[in-house]
Structures are given as C-alpha cells and as structure tokens.
Structure 1
Amino acid sequence: MKRGTTLFLKIAVFLIGAPVLALGIFGLTWLPNNPANPDYAHILYPIVIGIYASVIPFFIALYQAFKLLGHIDKNQAFSELSVKALKNIKFCAITISGLYIVIEPFVFLVADLDDAPGLVIVGMVPIFASMVIAVFAAVLQRLLQEAIDIKSENDLTV
C-alpha cells in the first residue's frame, strides 16, 4: 500500500481524536456547572462521568488503529500484531457501547424531565455506532486470521 494512503489515514485518526479531546477538556467540564435546567443538574453527573469513562477506550482504539496503520506501512499487515490490534479495537468498541448502555437510563430521565424524546434517540447513536465498529473489527479480525492461517499453510508446503 502506498505510504500516502496510510499517511492520510493517520492524519484522519489524529483529526478524529483532536475534537474529542477538546470536548473532554472544555465542553464536558462546562456542562455540569451550567445546566439548561438546574432542577435536574444532579442527573447530568452520571452522564458526564460515563462520557469521560468512554473516552479512555476511545483513545485506546485510536492508538490501536494508529498501530495497525504502522504495521501496514511496514508491510506487516498479515501478522498476529494486526490481528491483536483489531481484537483490541473490537473490545474497546464493545466497552464504549456498554458504557453508553449504562448511561442511557440517565439520558432517559433528562429527556423525560425536559420533555425531549429525541434526546433518547441521540443517546442511542453511540451505542449502535460502536457496535457497528465492533462487528466490523470482528469480521476483519477473523478474515485476517484466516488469511494468516492460509499463508502459513502455503509457507509450510514446499
């Protein structure tokens, strides 16, 4: 694969992480202190804590994607290191989905108090998006593992 393609993807990984980092530093610290309605400010704390907790596996997954692109640059795409990186991405996506499932009842309470049913659907977006990523990483992991197995069988055949 051309180095320019992986360079573009590495820049894209960085550009995905930068706004999340900025939101975590500036946006989520502002939200509990300035709620739209002070009557349910206490419900925002579990939501913000859950979002902060989901940032950790998010950045681990971005790091694993960066490592996977590095393996592709070094022509080690069909290696156990790539399979391990995809496995870690899959587990991070499942963790993020699980954290947002735990947050969802609090989002429902805020939506019920604020009479905003669309907020529940918006709260489900990260759950389904991370599950799609987990399934996609699992499929890629399995395909890559099968390709490695076929390659090793061919290497053993003289």
Structure 2
Amino acid sequence: MEQRTLVKWLKILVLFAAVCGLGLAGGVLPLAGQWLVESYPEFSYCFWPWLIFLWVLSIPCFWALYLAWKIFGNIEKDHAFTTENAEYMGRISFLAVADAVVLLVGNVLFWLIGMNHPGILLLCFVVTLIGIGFSVAAAALSHLIWKAADLQDQSDWTI
C-alpha cells in the first residue's frame, strides 16, 4: 500500500473515531442516562455527576485523536521518523495513562459515596488495565520513533 493511501485511511479512521466519540458522548450517554433515570428514579441524583465525569474522560481521547491526526499529517509529508512525532506519541501515552487513572479514581470515589455499583467498579479495573496497556504501547512506539529519528539524523550527516 502506498504511503498516501495509508495516511488517507488512517485519517479516515481518526475521523470515524471522532464522530463515534461525539455520538457516544453527546447522544448515547445522555440518552442512556435518561433511560436509567426513568427506569430507576431513585438514582436520578447520579445522572449529572456521572455524565459530567464521562464527558471529562472523553476530553483526553479527543486530544489523542488530534495528536494522531498531526502525526499522520507528518507521515503524509514524508516526515515519519521525527522527534516531533516521538513527542506526540509520548503525549498520547501520557493522556492514556492519565485517563485510566482518572477513570479508576473517579469510580472508586463514586463507589465510596454510594453512586457506583461494585460491578461497574470491577469493570473499571479492566478498562483501566486496557488503558495502561495502550499507554505502554504508545510509550514504546514513542521510544522507537525517537531512536529512528536519531538514526535518520545521523545518516543525514553521513556522506
């Protein structure tokens, strides 16, 4: 597959993820919350705190998609192995681990004040582990891109 074709598909994937995320955060989550409040009115006090918490959790995801878009733009310009891309991947790694930690801490706090079910808390642990795994993978890619950029810089100086 050609580089431009690959970048085009990667950008389409980022746009698709962003649209799905906006649909989830702006449509599905509020509608599901309203349905839960109508079905179980005794939990209506949980609606806004949980919805705001989930919206806050979506911010790092959208920021990571923006950084991925910038990386793909650099790849399109044939600047795949640059320190700039390595820094972007490092930021994505940080965003993933920060989001995972905020998810875990928020769920534990909600559980402590009686606004969370223990089953949701257990599911949160699994999602946190997945987020940390994603962060480690992004950190490893950042390191590899940094090494490749360093090798490329060295080879540019070689005659």
Q: TM-score range by the shorter chain?
A: 0.7 to 0.9
Q: Structure 1, unaligned stretches of length 5 or more?
A: none
- For 1:74-89, what aligned pairs fall within 5 Å after superposition? 74-89=77-92
Taking structure 1 as reference, are residues 123 and 24 closer, same or farther at Cα in structure 2, changes over 3 Å only?
Answer: same
Name the amino acid aligned to 2:80: A
Show the 5 A alignment for 1:9-158: 9-34=10-35, 35=37, 36-105=39-108, 106=110, 109=114, 110-112=116-118, 117=119, 119-158=120-159
What RMSD over aligned residues (CA atoms) do the two structures have, in Å?
A: 2.2
Give the whole-Å Cα distance in 1 for the aligned partners of 2:136 and 2:156: 30
Q: Deviations over 1:103-153 (max 9, x none)?
A: 2222684325xxxx3x33333343222212211110011111112222223
Deviation at residue 65 of structure 1 after TM alignment: 0.6
Per the TM alignment, residue 32 of structure 1 is displaced from its structure 2 partner at its CA by 4.5
Q: Report sequence identity in percent.
A: 25
Tell me which amino acid in the other structure corresponds to 2:21. V
Which amino acid in the other structure matches residue 81 of structure 2? Answer: F
Shift of 1:87: 1.6
- Partner secondary structure for residue 101 of structure 2: helix
Deviation at 1:44, TM superposition (A): 4.0
- List alignment gaps of at least 5 residues for structure 2: none
Quick one: which amino acid aligns to residue 61 of structure 2? F
Deviations 1:34-73 (A, max 9, x none): 4242223323433222211111111110011111111111
Give me the whole-angstrom Cα distance separating, in 1, the residues matched to 2:111 and 2:29. 15
**TM-score for both structures, normalised by structure 1:** 0.83
- Which one-letter code corresponds to 2:46 in the other structure? I
1:65-120: CA deviation from partner (whole Å, max 9, x where unpaired): 111111111110111221121122112112211221122222684325xxxx3x33
Q: Equivalents in 2 of 1:125, 1:65: separation in Å?
A: 24
Q: Distance in 1 between matches of 2:156 and 2:4?
A: 27
